[in-house]
Each structure stands twice: as C-alpha cells, then as structure tokens.
A and B are shown apart, each in its own frame.
Chain A
C-alpha cells in the first residue's frame, strides 16, 4: 500500500514571492506522482504529473515539481505566485501495477496575500 504526507496544512505567502509545497510518499513499488489543485466549490484539476523520465516536471500555471526517489519526495514549486493561485493543493501517488488507484494527501492550503 502507498501513502502520502503533505507536511504543511497551510502556507501563507505574499504575491510575487516564491513558494514550495512539500509532499513525501511511501511505497514498496515504483510510483506515479501527481499534483492537483482545487478551487472553492470545484473539483480537482491536474497541475502536473510524474510517470517516468526526467525528474523535473513542468505543469500548468507556471508550477513545477521535482521527483526525488532517494528522499521519496515530490515537492511543488512556483517562482512567483499570484493572488489567483490561492487554492487547495493535493499531492497523490499511484503504485504502478494493479488498478492504479491513487492515494491523496490531506492537502495544503496556499494563501497568497497582496
């Protein structure tokens, strides 16, 4: 079985500042990793995914994440945030093989202040 830990429940940051949202996972097999964003009263939307290949993954809205196998991490970063980035962010892991049912973290609330 796999698990995901999002270390920060809330991250406040000022507009145009950089941000990092942390995600650690555990799994006994190789994994696929995802970051989703959820705006109020909406479903989840994919930001980016790591399946294989380059460990640095670029996604939508200027976000990127780096897969670090030795540290079992997949931290999400953005060099300069906007007010519109205020949302809930979820990290998810899927163990390769089987039915590929993802496990989600508890989420990190990113709050961007003007």
Chain B
C-alpha cells in the first residue's frame, strides 16, 4: 500500500510569508506526528494527533506554528510569518498502534 506522503517536497519562502505543509498518512493510521529536523540533527517533536484530536502540541516553537487534522486523516502544518530560523526539514509520521512510526519523505523549507 501507499506510504506516508508529504507535499510540497521543497518550499522556498521569503521571510514573513505564510506556508502550509501537507501530510497524507497511511490509511487507517490513528496517530499522526509532526517533527522538525534541523541540519545535522535528529527529529524534534512538534505535535501529535490521535484521529482529529490534537493531544500534544508542546513542541511547537511559537504561536506562529499551527497544525490541524480536521477529519482524522490528512494533516496540515501551517507556519505564519516565517523566519529564517524556521528553515528545516519538516517530517510527518503516522502510526497504527503504539510502537513503529512510518515516516514521509519530508518537506524541506528554506526561508530567505
């Protein structure tokens, strides 16, 4: 079956622009995660959904970051008024139970 997909794969934004990053999880996966991965670093947790409920958003770095999953499947991570420090790869992962996560290829965001 299809894996986790993310779009766009690459995004270049001017500082101050708003961006929206999309994640299509594996069909039927209840849990969905967003991570931020800076160059040379491991994934850092941003937020977690179980179905449409956002159960943990403790990793969102500021109120410019917002995530939603309105129907419990596709999720969007929105960053308002982008800053240069937002440049990173944004990874989405989905999970059926409580162990293995399946990752998408990521969206590389570059803020100029």
Contacts and interface: CB of A to CB of B under 8 A. Distances in A.
Interface of A: 6, 32, 34, 36, 41-46, 49, 51, 90, 94, 99-107
B106 interface: yes
A42 B107 CA distance: 10
Given A99-B56, A101-B33, A106 B41 contact: yes
A70 B50 CA distance: 34
Q: Considering the complex of A and B, which 10 residue pairs feature the smallest CB-CB distances, nearest first?
A: A43-B103, A104-B42, A44-B103, A100-B98, A43-B105, A104-B43, A106-B42, A107-B42, A43-B104, A90-B42
Contacts, number: 58
A36 B108 CA distance: 19
B4 interface: yes
Interface string B37-68: 00011111100101000011000000000000
Interface string B69-112: 00000000000000000000001010000111111111010000
Interface string B1-27: 000100000000000000000000000
